[in-house]
Chain A
Amino acid sequence: MSEKLLNWDEVLIGGAIKDPGNSKSYETGSWRVERPVWNPESCIQCMFCWVYCPDSSILVDENGKMSGIDYDHCKGCGICVEQCPTKPKSLAMLLEADAKGKSEEDLRKEVFSK
């Protein structure tokens, strides 16, 4: 977290937060055991993944289209994969350990060329 850690007599009463929306600054992506990998070629832009994602981690571009995954916040719950209606699915889970050091493009090939 980028903000200053305050002393006990400096924190806001009752754990209240006066600058709403600051959960963005808390990156929960490190909690992930598995990550969703997205295949833009088979994606039909139904936006089910965006609707169901509990962490607002489906990225949407200026045209309102699904454009990827926010890996800084995605906790890897897999709900997007469960909801994806295409056959075969356009989202698939991959062990985080197997994703280390690989580019998103490489991962897509690895997952979706099988």
Chain B
Amino acid sequence: MGKKVALTGNEAAAHAIRQINPDVVAAFPITPSTPIPQNVAQFIADGKMDTELVTVESEHSAMSACVGAAAAGGRVMTATSANGYALMWEILYIASGSRLPIVMAVAARALSAPLNIHGDHSDIMGGRDTGWIQLVAENSQETYDNLIQAIKIAENKDVMTPALGAFDGFNISHAIEIWELEDDNKVKEFVGEYTPLYPLLNTKEPVTHGAWAPPDWYFEHKMNQLEGLLNAKDVVVKVGKEFGSAFGREYGLYEAYKMDDAEYVIVAMGSVCGTTKDVVDSLRENGVKAGLLKVRLFRPFPYKELADALSSAKAIAVLDRVSPAGAQGGALFTEIRSALYDANNRPPVINYTYGLGGRDTQPQHINSVYDKLKTIAETGKVDKQFDCLNLRGTWG
């Protein structure tokens, strides 16, 4: 039986890794994810897991060691944040292009400059097109649950694609919450044994990994890779159901919070969804048809399912915890707005950037978004497509 524990998000990730007990963890410490490899090292020292921990000299080397170990045929995990994730960049593509089902915990953090170690989604949103599956958690429980499910999703024969389980730096990584730690054996049974497709260490069937693909081959390989990533969508649903049967918490592509008849809808990812749910609850008590669409799977992006889930909306605000960086809006906004282009119902969609570099987002800020949506729905006018939450000074 599982038990209730009061631990941080990083500890939730570390316990998931302990219970999965991968063959190899190669990691380099970086705030705010440092306690993950630190706890893993402690678990190994205490004899609670027998993973080979490779202490490398950088994140570039961490992901490179993961690629090597996964190509050899091992089940491999790691953890990182921010600039560490950025330093992994070229190897992230090599992991996904080589179809190695590495699973990584990312305590999402702002990227320098200016130097900032606090939470936002600059790292994972910057890496959204590296070919990895991206799951985003709202709290410690989901951080733990997502990493366990990510193993089964990534290693599915139709997928064979690396996956990351992201959770907000500090808001989740360093906050102590009460969550359910499942029984070691039950988790072990759930993730099962991993059978690699073409392990390098199988000398009876020699295989080459990392070979060159000239112009007459590369394109075909990239589209073959894309199919694996796209296959992850159905597998995420399947594994989410299996997880529900095993542990009582079922997961899908998204969470529709009070969305059945919702007219004013916020679309968001991560810890801000907890705050938004509280605001939705109080608005509902006052008869306001507010709802939240929490995106869980960002890559592959389930655009059709999300558009369907937004069918009752009269006005939508997408919250991005990243700068639009010159695009029409944040990464989630442009995806959602594009998804709605083919929908029968095409309500106004606005975008807010919030929480950059650990800036707090409080109920009053979320309330101001619902107020704005109400005005837009009533007047049919959008005066500002893009704005910022809790920024000093008026934007635009």
Q: Is A18 located at the chain interface by the 8 A CB criterion?
A: yes
Q: Is A8 a contact of B219 with CB atoms below 8 Å? A: yes
User: Among residues 9 to 29 in chain A, which have CB atoms less than 8 Å away from a CB atom of chain B?
Assistant: 9-18, 20, 26
In the bound complex, residues from chain A placing their C-beta under 8 Å from that of B160 are 13-14
Q: Is A6 located at the chain interface by the 8 A CB criterion?
A: yes
A6–B216 CA distance with the chains assembled, in angstroms: 10
Secondary structure dominating the interface of A:
loop
Secondary structure dominating the interface of B:
loop
In the bound complex, residues from chain B placing their C-beta under 8 Å from that of A16 are 98-99, 197-198, 207-209, 211
Taking the nearest CB of chain B, how far is it from the CB of A6, in angstroms?
7
**Number of chain B residues close to chain A: CB under 8 A:** 26
A25–B210 CA distance with the chains assembled, in angstroms: 18
Q: Is A15 a contact of B221 with CB atoms below 8 Å? A: yes
In the bound complex, residues from chain B placing their C-beta under 8 Å from that of A11 are 217, 220-221, 224
Asked whether A20 and B207 contact (CB < 8 A) given A8-B223, A8-B224, the answer is yes
**Number of chain A residues close to chain B: CB under 8 A:** 17
A13–B71 CA distance with the chains assembled, in angstroms: 12
Q: What 8 pairs across the A-B complex have the smallest Cβ distances?
A: A14-B99, A17-B208, A8-B223, A8-B220, A14-B98, A20-B206, A16-B198, A13-B99
Interface of B toward A, CB cutoff 8 Å: 97-100, 160, 197-198, 205-211, 213-214, 216-217, 219-221, 223-225, 227-228
Interface of A toward B, CB cutoff 8 Å: 1, 5-18, 20, 26
A-B contact list, 16 entries, CB within 8 Å? A7-B220, A8-B223, A8-B224, A9-B227, A11-B217, A11-B220, A13-B99, A13-B160, A13-B198, A13-B228, A14-B98, A14-B99, A16-B98, A16-B198, A17-B208, A20-B206
